A and B are shown apart, each in its own frame.
Chain A
């Protein structure tokens, strides 16, 4: 496996981790919002 291939594969893994953590962050924000408003239906439900 050449150094270039390794670099691209590492980049893909790092991007994947970044996307995953962003999704977890978005979900945590949703839960935090539910905790604040008492609504569990998610963003845009119109309860506010």
Chain B
């Protein structure tokens, strides 16, 4: 391997005006370490957004090269410049400068996996054909070197006629050289277009050319690491150990959510309580004080407490993805999901659904067969996403005792695992139903590339966790805050006219929210819920976390003692008519089961419309998804409650 003579040395760099940012588009095949390189280039200065008008997500970040701001756009992973899917079409539009609302990139950086040159070079050559200033980042050079493989970079530069910079994104090697090459690339003449890579014939000719290039530039090593990787794979892909390891990892994650997150969650809780006490002291009694304490703090605070748990969830998901384990998990479960009409490839969208259904549904684009893809889309929202976590965590903390099972695992984490498994089993069951009715077709064999194992970079992991935490905080500070304020108003007006000094409970019952709640109570009564739970459920149709903030606002308004944590208030809540506890463990389990199944997320509905073809057909699939999940949720919650009562598990408390 030779260190790259990255750019032509005779070039004279033309400095840019400090105000105009150099725009860089980062492209490459999936699994080339593109996002890791993006993080290495831009650090934490990045944001995630959708392309205008479509729900294809992209990240944008900036860094400074000297005084020049450089804006980097991370485009969706693409196999070829002949778009097969919406995300590939977007990537191509951006590269050509045809994407509405996205300025043309000054420089294109193609990320190429040095360990997989044969597969990656075709796309790189196609991008060079566009005739735009291009830099090729030859990533994972550390792995190539450790396998004893040598790549003759100057020869490769000669073959491709392009600037090539060897880098190792995970080790942050070659990043400065890459930045330097990017800053100079816009001043270079564009690479000459060969014009022979277009169309099917071009692709075949391209592969023949690539075989020759690889033969001339690459000297293969013995690949001694492969044996270690094979040994690990023997366990992780084993038909029995594989799924067991996966469940063990999930259990460890849930255990961490309750133990490691506890001190930070307690800290946030104390801060919220301190804020409330300070406001109570600083302001005289009145509407504004009540709005700030019972509306804003009780609503937003009750959701914020779950921030550490959400961070841990994303840390685990990041670890699984970046270490190369996620693809192994897909293989390990392939044989188990096949009877349900799915294949291992569907498993990655399903596991992504543990974080959020939106990227999970977008990840189904890798499934080529229409029926299989639609079936996966229809069931992804049954996987318990991070927005359900606050609901589960609140109810588990309130009603499941913090004892250890067998002295090792906490009962609370086992309950949480049970909720996740219930969602997963339901997703598989519903997939089987869809695949045997509306979406019948043969299930294809699973052929997919296993990415090499790698030690996840702490920096990259923390950056992705921080990104998700920021999204959660933004939601808490915008939509959840606004809904909490409106709910406070609905829970306080109109005022009770009698008696002269009404109790908090009487005030709430006379309010608009109380009246709506009582009107819908007959619908939720069979499930064992009172009207307060019913109102919280209706409010959470916008987003599931709103259930917790609504409960926070309602219970803050219904008690004169605003200092108790929400979980404790739920435990102490009594039915004013019967005097019985409103929340029993049975009601709590029924409520959790409802949230396992219910699709209460407007973003998921929107993405389903789009990903199932858009138009009225997309609306139809989304309506079917929403309807069957709501029916399932109501039916399952009813079954749990009624069966629990019949078994004497105590509805009255």
Residues of A within 8 A of B (CB): 1-3, 5-7, 9-11, 13-14, 16-18, 20-21, 24, 28, 31-32, 34-42
Q: Does B111 contact A (CB under 8 A)?
A: no
Residue in chain B with minimal CB distance to A42: B53
Q: Is the CB of A35 within 8 A of B55?
A: yes
| Sample of 27 A–B contacts (CB below 8 Å) | A1-B286, A2-B286, A3-B284, A3-B287, A5-B286, A6-B284, A6-B287, A6-B288, A7-B287, A10-B288, A10-B291, A11-B287, A14-B486, A17-B482, A17-B483, A24-B478, A31-B53, A32-B606, A34-B53, A34-B54, A35-B55, A35-B607, A36-B609, A36-B619, A40-B52, A40-B54, A42-B53
Q: Is B100 in contact with chain A by the CB < 8 A criterion? A: yes
Report the minimal beta-carbon distance from B362 to chain A, rounded to whole angstroms.
13
A14 near B483 with CB under 8 A, answer: no
Chain A residues within 8 Å of B143, by CB: none
Expressed in whole angstroms, the minimum distance between the Cβ of A16 and any Cβ of chain B is 8
In the bound assembly, the distance between CA atoms of A24 and B479 in angstroms comes to: 8
CA of A31 to CA of B287, assembled, Å: 36
List chain B residues, Cβ under 8 A from A21: 479, 482-483, 486
Stretch at the interface among B223-231, B315-323, B610-618: B610-618
Residues on B with C-beta less than 8 A from A11 are 287
Chain B, interface SS category: helix
Assess whether B485 is interfacial by the CB under 8 Å rule.
yes
Partner of B606, one of A2, A10, A28: A28
B289 within 8 Å of A by Cβ? yes
When distances are taken between beta carbons in the complex, the residues of chain A under 8 Å from B615 are: 36-38
Cβ-defined partner of A37 (8 Å) among B100, B284, B614: B614
Query: Is B485 in contact with A14, judged by CB distance below 8 angstroms?
Result: yes
B79-116 at interface with A (beta carbon < 8 Å): 100-101
Contacts of A40 in B (CB 8 A): 51-54, 100-101
Is B489's CB within 8 Å of the partner chain A?
yes
B287 with A36: CB separation less than 8 A: no
CA–CA, A34 to B609, complex, Å?
A: 10
Q: Looking across the interface, which residue of chain A has its beta carbon closest to that of B288?
A: A6
Q: Does B8 contact A (CB under 8 A)?
A: no
Q: Please give, as numbers and ranges, the residues of chain B lying within 8 Å of A28 by CB-CB distance.
A: 602, 606
* Most chain B CB within a 10 A radius of its CB, from A6, A9, A18, A42: A6
CA–CA, A37 and B616, complex, Å: 9
Seen from chain B, the residues whose Cβ lies within 8 Å of a Cβ on chain A are 51-55, 100-101, 283-291, 478-479, 481-483, 485-486, 488-489, 602, 606-607, 609-610, 614-616, 618-619
CA distance A28 to B605 in the complex (A): 11
Bound: A16/B295 CA distance, A: 14
Chain B contacts for A35, CB-based, 8 A:
54-55, 606-607, 609-610, 614, 618
Contact present for A36 and B618 (CB under 8 Å): yes
Query: Is B614 within 8 A of A36, CB to CB?
Result: yes
A40 to B291, CA, bound (A): 38
Given A6-B283, A32-B606, 14 more pairs with CB closer than 8 A:
A1-B286, A2-B286, A3-B286, A7-B287, A10-B286, A11-B287, A21-B482, A21-B483, A31-B606, A35-B606, A36-B615, A40-B53, A40-B100, A41-B53
The complex places the Cα of A35 from the Cα of B614 at a distance, in Å, of: 6
Closest-CB distance, A38 to chain B (whole angstroms): 5
Q: Distance (Å) between the CB of A45 and the closest chain B CB?
A: 10
Task: Give the docked Cα–Cα distance between A31 and B619 (Å).
Answer: 13
Least CB distance from B531 to A in Å reads: 22
Quote the shortest CB–CB distance from B57 to chain A (angstroms). 13
Output the least CB separation between B487 and chain A (Å): 10
Contacts of A14 in B (CB 8 A): 291, 485-486, 488-489
Contact between chains at A39 and B481 (CB < 8 Å)? no
A9 and B606: CB pair below 8 A? no
User: Residues of B contacting A34 with CB < 8 Å?
Assistant: 53-54
B556 to chain A, nearest CB (A): 15
Is B291's CB under 8 angstroms from A39's CB?
no
Contact with A13, one of B53, B291, B607 (Cβ below 8 angstroms)? B291
Contact partner, B486, options A2, A7, A17, A39, Cβ 8 Å: A17
Taken together as a complex, chains A and B put the C-alpha atoms of A10 and B615 apart, in Å, by: 42
Nearest residue, chain A, Cβ from B616: A36
Q: Do B286 and A6 touch across chains, with their CB atoms under 8 A apart?
A: yes
Residues of A within 8 A of B287 (CB): 3, 6-7, 9-11
B145 to nearest A CB, angstroms?
44
Q: How far does the alpha carbon of A35 sit from the alpha carbon of B616 in the complex, in Å?
A: 10
Lowest 8 A-B CB distances belong to which pairs? A40-B53, A6-B286, A17-B485, A6-B288, A10-B287, A35-B610, A17-B482, A34-B53
Within the complex, the shortest CB–CB distance from A30 to chain B, in Å, comes to: 9
Contacts of B488 in A (CB 8 A): 14
In the assembled complex, the CB of A7 is this many whole angstroms from the nearest CB of chain B, namely: 5
Select B609's contact among A13, A32, A39, beta carbons within 8 Å: A32
Select the residue from B53, B100, B290, B610 with max chain A CB neighbours within 10 A.
Answer: B53
Chain A nearest CB, measured from B120 CB (Å): 31
Question: A14–B616 Cα gap in the complex (Å)?
Answer: 36
- Complex-state Cα separation, A27 to B290, whole angstroms: 31
The residue that B288 contacts in the complex, of A9, A16, A32, A38, with Cβ under 8 A, is A9
A5 to B283, CA, bound (A): 12
Nearest A residue to B490 via CB reads: A14
Smallest beta-carbon distance B483→chain A, Å: 7
* Cβ contacts under 8 Å, A7 to chain B: 286-288
Query: Do residues A39 and B619 form an inter-chain contact, with CB atoms below 8 A?
Result: no
User: Chain B nearest CB: distance from A20 CB in Å?
Assistant: 5
Which residues from chain B contact A31 at a C-beta distance below 8 Å?
A: 53, 55, 606
Docked Cα-Cα span, A42 to B53, in Å, equals 8
